[in-house]
């Protein structure tokens, strides 16, 4: 007796889902995409060789794409087609995003299915989620596919129309893209900021102080009633920009050091203010990449690769998402863990809710441990070592998810000012501050690893303080940091350019030709020439940040349209007209 066929994208999902569904189903992988636009002129089907087509892949007028099955995918397609012909039902279980919907659509077409396949989606690979999807199948979302198709066609259009012109700069393999261009522009403009930056000199002074019970370090805060100027009190041209700051010179430094080393100091002001620490927000793709970078030293590609493995093994939910929303199931699991492992004061009376973005990926949930009862990190130690990438990343996801549902931390921030009177500088004020946490809240699960503090002395106003030594340091303002892979991705997300599933590929694309990426992203000469000598004069629209964001928004509108095909054609027609005008301007220049 034939069995229902379930097709997933990744071979590594097959084992997990097969265990869940058992022997009553056949689970196979498409190994990613099985159809695409022709890769070159040789790949164009024979029936189109003598016909007019755009960009080696698109029919004129209605912008209908020509799809082919690449040679290296034909064996997979044949195997799946043979299985599908015998199966009473075919379930397409690709990821729930545009990319996944496109794979599902192409499977339907390439396998020439006798009846409509059942489209199933799940945000986590757990038994309840998979079985629920099987019991409640949907149909392929044509709006989502048409949105993907418009994006794919647009990228092909831009690549074929603009990249050949770009090669006038030199190099047979130079090309640009709809999202790569703005990303390269960001890096180039950051480098230009750095090159034009004028350094400014300023000074910092600290003093080692001692009371009867403790030795501590205090910083110079003010002289003559004004706060000491720091790096933020100069502009990029090296000019002083704050009239209310004291810009001390090297001569001033030497005089102040003499006064500190020979003067009598006492506490002049002690201030205590309540402080609260808010729990972290649940993780989305970019915040996962940032957290993994800051806490584990992972680059974005490594983070996503490890997260993909955790997802496919059923340990976390889908890891490509713009959403920070936690489901009721996740909130319940988090609150149960908190109540079982912490005091009642660690559990808010009501769940903590977090807002969402409004784009096409927001239907997803935040990245979190899967299931209705979370697997604790220590439970993975039988499978993963404590120093493994999988254990580290899962622990990070687990801790941030649970911490997001805990209460705020409460503390007292204490500031102490120590003063020496002088005829020339007036009151010379040193300062020290620190926070004492009176209730840990979420911090009892996770702490800010970058937070530094020193023990504060127990002082009252008017107490004498002994200055053991003092020191000055000549410092210079520094130009803005170059982007790292993580900070560039965060900037692209802030600007609304790209989507979670594309960020890592954007970085890989631009670093292959235009950008050096050893420790940070530094533009090559070719990138600077491409942006300043080619794109800005002739194709500025395609590296404009707001325009790039609007294009993403338009793609989302296709998904939501009542007539996605019509919306897709209109979008591509308008895009093509704009490109033609820019090409004409370039050729007439």
Catalytic residue numbers read: 318
Three-state DSSP state, 422: strand
Task: List C-alpha distances in Å: 198 to 189, 243, 302, 492, 520.
Answer: 16, 20, 37, 27, 21
How far, in Å, CA of 116 to CA of 64, rounded?
Answer: 22
How far, in Å, CA of 16 to CA of 300, rounded?
Answer: 25
Three-state DSSP state, 280: coil
How far, in Å, CA of 422 to CA of 428, rounded?
Answer: 7
How far, in Å, CA of 174 to CA of 257, rounded?
Answer: 58
- Kind and range of the H or E run holding 583: helix 564-588
Structure tokens, 181: 């261009």
Exposed e or buried b per residue across 365-404, where buried means at least 16 C-beta atoms within 10 angstroms of its C-beta: bbbbbbbeebeebeebeeebeeeebbbbbbbbbbbbbbbb
Three-state DSSP state, 427: strand
Specify whether the CB–CB gap between 105 and 117 falls below 8 A. Answer: no
From edge to edge, which strands make up the β-sheet containing 90-92? 26-29, 5-8, 90-92, 118-119
Q: Closest by alpha carbon to 204, among 477, 476, 473?
A: 473
Task: List C-alpha distances in Å: 213 to 209, 272, 417, 431, 458.
Answer: 11, 20, 18, 18, 8
Specify whether the CB–CB gap between 470 and 219 falls below 8 A. Answer: no
Q: Which residues pair with 422 in a beta bridge?
A: 426
Q: Closest by alpha carbon to 466, among 196, 126, 218, 222?
A: 218
What length is written for the chain? 589
DSSP 146-167: HHHHHHHHHHHHHHHHHHHHHG
How far, in Å, CA of 261 to CA of 251, rounded?
Answer: 16
Give phi and psi for 576, each to the nearest 5: -65, -40
Residues 6+ apart with CB under 8 A from 244: 226, 227
Residues 6+ apart with CB under 8 A from 142: 105, 564, 565
Specify whether the CB–CB gap between 340 and 376 falls below 8 A. Answer: no
Specify whether the CB–CB gap between 237 and 393 falls below 8 A. Answer: no
């Amino acid at each position: 007796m034939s069995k229902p066929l379930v097709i997933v994208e990744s071979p590594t999902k097959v084992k997990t889902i097969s265990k869940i569904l058992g022997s009553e189903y056949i689970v196979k992988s498409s190994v990613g995409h099985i159809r695409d636009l022709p890769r070159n002129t040789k790949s164009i089907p024979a029936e189109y060789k003598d016909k007019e087509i755009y960009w080696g892949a698109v029919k004129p007028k209605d912008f209908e794409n020509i799809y082919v099955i690449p040679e290296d995918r034909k064996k997979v397609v044949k195997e799946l087609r043979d299985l599908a012909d015998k199966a009473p039902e075919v379930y397409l279980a690709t990821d729930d995003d545009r990319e996944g919907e496109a794979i599902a659509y192409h499977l339907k077409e390439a396998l020439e299915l006798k009846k409509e396949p059942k489209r199933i989606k799940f945000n986590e690979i757990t038994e309840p989620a998979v079985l629920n999807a099987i019991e409640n199948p949907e149909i392929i979302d044509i709006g989502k596919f048409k949105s993907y198709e418009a994006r794919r066609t647009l990228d092909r259009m831009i690549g074929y129309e603009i990249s050949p012109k770009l090669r006038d700069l030199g190099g047979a393999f130079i090309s640009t893209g709809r999202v790569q261009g703005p990303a390269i522009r960001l890096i180039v403009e950051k480098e230009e900021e750095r090159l034009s930056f004028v350094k400014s000199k300023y000074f910092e002074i600290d003093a080692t102080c001692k009371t009867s019970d403790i030795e501590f370090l205090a910083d110079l805060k003010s002289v003559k009633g004004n706060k000491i100027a720091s790096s933020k009190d100069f502009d990029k041209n090296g000019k002083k920009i704050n009239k209310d700051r004291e810009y001390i010179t090297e001569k001033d430094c030497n005089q102040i050091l003499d006064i500190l080393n020979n003067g009598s100091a006492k506490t002049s002001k002690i201030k205590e203010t309540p402080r609260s620490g808010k729990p972290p927000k649940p993780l989305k793709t970019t915040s996962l990449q940032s957290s993994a970078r800051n806490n584990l030293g992972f680059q974005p590609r490594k983070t996503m690769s490890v997260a993909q493995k955790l997802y496919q093994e059923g340990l976390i939910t889908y890891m490509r998402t713009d959403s920070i929303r936690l489901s009721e199931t996740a909130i319940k699991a988090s609150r149960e863990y908190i109540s079982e492992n912490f005091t009642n004061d660690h559990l808010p009376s009501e769940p903590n809710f977090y807002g969402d973005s409004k784009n096409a990926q927001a239907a997803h949930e935040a990245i979190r441990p899967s299931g209705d009862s979370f697997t604790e990190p220590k439970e993975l130690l039988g499978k993963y070592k404590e120093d493994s990438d999988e254990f580290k990343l899962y622990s990070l996801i687990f801790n941030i998810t649970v911490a997001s549902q805990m209460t705020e931390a409460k503390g007292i921030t204490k500031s102490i000012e120590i003063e020496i009177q002088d005829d020339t500088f007036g009151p010379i004020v040193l300062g020290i501050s620190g926070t004492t946490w009176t209730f840990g809240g979420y911090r009892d699960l996770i702490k800010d690893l970058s937070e530094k503090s020193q023990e504060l002395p127990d002082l009252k106003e008017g107490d004498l303080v002994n200055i053991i030594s003092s020191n000055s340091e000549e410092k210079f303002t520094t130009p803005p940091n170059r982007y790292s892979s993580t900070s560039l991705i965060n900037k692209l997300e802030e600007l609304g350019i790209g989507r979670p599933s594309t960020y890592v590929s954007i970085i890989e694309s631009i670093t292959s030709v235009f950008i050096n990426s050893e420790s940070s992203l530094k533009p090559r000469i070719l990138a600077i020439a491409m942006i300043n000598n080619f794109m800005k004069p002739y194709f500025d629209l395609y590296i404009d940040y707001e325009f790039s964001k609007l294009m993403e928004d338009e793609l989302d509108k296709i998904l939501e349209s009542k007539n996605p095909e019509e919306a897709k054609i209109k979008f591509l027609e308008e895009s093509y007209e704009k490109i033609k005008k820019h090409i004409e301007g370039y050729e007439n220049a």
